[in-house]
Structure formats: C-alpha cells, structure tokens
Amino acid sequence: MTRATLCTRTLALLALMVLPLCTGQVLAQVTPAAGYTPPDDTPSFKVGTVIFADYTYTEEPTTTDVDGNTIHPQSFNVARAYINLTGNINHLVGFRVTPDIVSAATTNGPTDAVSSSLDGSLVFRLKYAYGQFNLDNAWSKGSWVRFGVNQTPYVDFMEGIYRYRFQGQIFVERDGFISSSDFGASLHYNFGGNYGDLQAGYYNGDTYKKGEANDQQAFQARVSFRPAPMVAALQGLRITGFYDADHYAQSDARTRTIGALTYEQKHVHAGFEYLDAKDQTTAAAADVRSKGYSAWATPIFGKGWEGLLRYDHLEPTQNSAKAYVDDAVKERKIAGISYWFKTAAPNAQAALLLDWEGVEYDPGLNRDNERRYAFHTLFTF
C-alpha cells in the first residue's frame, strides 16, 4: 500500500468520524453501554388546576348597607383559580402558562364613563408564563434557568413548607413587601448531598401585576441550607436567607432582607421569619424603615387532621403629611383546624379549613381592627 493510498484512506476514515458531529448526527451504538438509560425526549403536555374557595364572615369592622343598617359583611369568594398548562419539548426544555383570577373594579354607577359588563366580575390575568431550560446534565439534578413571568425566589419556596396559602398569603407577601411572581430571569441550583439550594433572579421589580415603570430592575437571591441532612431528626431543618435589591427610581432604594428558620417533620411543620425593609419612594420622600416577624406552626394530628397557629408582628414605620409614626405595631393572629383528604398522587390535594383571624392596629396607624371567621377549601391537581 502506497503512502498516498494510506493517507487517502486515513482522511476518509476521519471524515466518517467527524461529519456526523458537524451535522448533529451521531451514529448509535449497536449495543448500549451497560446501565445507560437514554433521556426521554418525548414531548409532553399536562393540564392542572388550583382552586381556593371560601365563605367568610366579618365580625369587625362593620359597615352599612344602602338603607343605613349596620351589618357584618359576609360572602362566598373564589380567591384563586389557576389553570396550569405545563409541558416539556424534550428533557432539556420545558414551559408553563398559568392565568390567575382577579376581581375587576366596581365603578361608581351608570353615569361612570368607564362602566362595563366586567364590573365586579372575576377576570383572568397572567400569573406565570415562562420557558425553562433544565441543567441536570451540566449541574445537579433539579437545576434550571427560567425566562418570562416566573416565580421569585422566596414566596414559592416558603409556601411549599407552610402549605396554607389557601387561608392567606405568607407574612412578607400579605403585607406587601414582596411578590410571588415577576417578569424576569431566574436560576436555581441544588447543592449536593441534600444540603439545600440556591435561587437568584433579575426582575422588573414591579411584580407580575404591572409592567416596568422605568429603567430600574431588581436582583433577588435566596439561599437555603440544611445543616444536618444525614441526621434523621434534623433532616427537615433549614436556614434561609433572602435579599431583594431594587429601586423606585435611580437613587430611591427599595430593599428587603429576610432571615428564616423552618422545620418539617411528620408531626409538625413550623417556621420563623424576620423582615427588615427599606423604602424611599422619591428623592424628596423620607427614608421609611419597616421590620417585623412571623411565627407559625401546623401540628399534624394524624388521619388527615391538622392545626394552624400563626402570629405576625409588623412595625410599619410610616411618614405622611400628618404625622411621623415610629414603632407603631400591627399584629395578626390566626388559628384554625383543617382536614386533608388522602390522595394517591402528591400533586393532587384537597383540604378543608375552619379558621379565625384577628388583626389589631396601634392607634397611630389609624386603621380599624379586624375579626373574621372563615371556611376555606383547597382543590389542586
């Protein structure tokens, strides 16, 4: 065999090896490697729902009807109705679209120029709409990047432990400090050995309820750490830190710092959250500092029965044209008993909750105290 013939055959062999890589076509093995399971790239599509419905009786504050009678407001409500559309294009790319309900504003009567047939109705708005790029092959299992209207790092994480969102939002969201969803990009990473996870994102900062008002975006990050995942009694213990760096305008800070300690065990879920917030709405406005904490526990009695105990304490330091209120306190107390139906699938849940909620305001906050009794229901699949 001449050198020219040998070179020609060698080049032909290299071409056969390289060409499939360049064109994206890799020759399959006749016999797969032992223990190898190819990823499932079959496109999939799922439809699910989440419904929060309740009946609420308000003991105080009272109000008056059209005839001037003093009444205790009471009504049936639907606080949430999600239609979850989720799917995978392949094992690397997925998506989710979730519309949410909101009550349309009621106008002031037939002479109002913007009156429409939607007044007082429940209408849908977009809560989630994002694409997800799974990074399981490159990083740890459960790592991903999301782009679009997606979950912010803290609220969705804490709701997964608290599990009583159908009664009401967690402390930091209910008092308006952060939101569960926003327009932006998020990254999630699971630490090895079940030691915890990290989620960070860059968002508009104005929540999913409205568009970006200016050129200021928010950076949010949460780190959760399990100190002893190898110890059975301490596997459910997590220490969490969260930070939100944002601005109302270029030099007007809007920051939130949260520290949390949570514990999950078959007989109880419990948590403690501490908040420190700073708001300066305009350059001419005063720097407003708020702080508070929430402590809650959900004892699990067995056979589907659980309890709910929660206490929120907020010092919403305020500045207004009338007065500067320092260290005024808002307190929220919640107590309830619930029943969770047994289901075969973890993503299918149904629960009933009977609860009492009281909110008390210091006189300086100029708000009426609140007392409510409610029957809440949860349906999710």
The residues facing 193 across adjacent strands are none
Residues in the chain: 381
Is 199 a domain residue?
yes
Please answer whether residues 105 and 119 qualify as being in contact, where contact means their C-beta atoms are separated by less than 8 angstroms: yes
Expressed as residue numbers, the domain containing 203 is 40-107+115-380
pLDDT score for 109:
40
Name the average pLDDT for the chain.
86
Neighbours of 147 (CB within 10 A): 14
Bigger pLDDT: 232 vs 346: 232
Of 378, 324, 23, nearest to 166 by C-alpha is: 378
- Dihedral sign, CA of 206, 212, 214, 220? positive
Is 3 a domain residue?
no
Distance CA 192, CA 204 (A): 31
Query: What is the total count of domains within the chain?
Result: 1
pLDDT score for 25:
38
Rounded percentage of the chain residues whose pLDDT exceeds 70: 84
pLDDT at 112 over 60: no
CATH code of the domain covering residue 174: 2.40.160.10
Is 30 a domain residue?
no
What is the reported pTM?
0.84
Distance CA 271, CA 237 (A): 10
Is 190 a domain residue?
yes
pLDDT at 102 over 50: yes
Distance CA 161, CA 262 (A): 8
Q: What is the pLDDT of residues 113-160, one digit of tens each?
A: 444 555 668 888 899 999 999 999 889 999 999 999 999 999 999 999
pLDDT score for 342:
94
pLDDT at 24 over 60: no
Task: Spell out where the chain has E strands.
Answer: 44-60, 63-64, 70-71, 74-88, 93-103, 122-134, 144-151, 181-190, 196-203, 218-225, 237-249, 252-265, 268-279, 288-302, 305-316, 318-319, 324-325, 330-340, 349-361, 370-380
Q: What is the pLDDT of residues 272-324, one digit of tens each?
A: 999 999 999 888 888 889 999 999 999 999 999 999 999 999 998 855 444 44
Is 24 a domain residue?
no
pLDDT at 5 over 90: no
Q: What is the pLDDT of residues 224-258, one digit of tens each?
A: 999 999 999 999 999 999 999 999 998 899 999 99
Is 47 a domain residue?
yes
Is 57 a domain residue?
yes
Average pLDDT estimate for 38-49: 90
Distance CA 69, CA 353 (A): 31
pLDDT score for 101:
85
Is 344 a domain residue?
yes
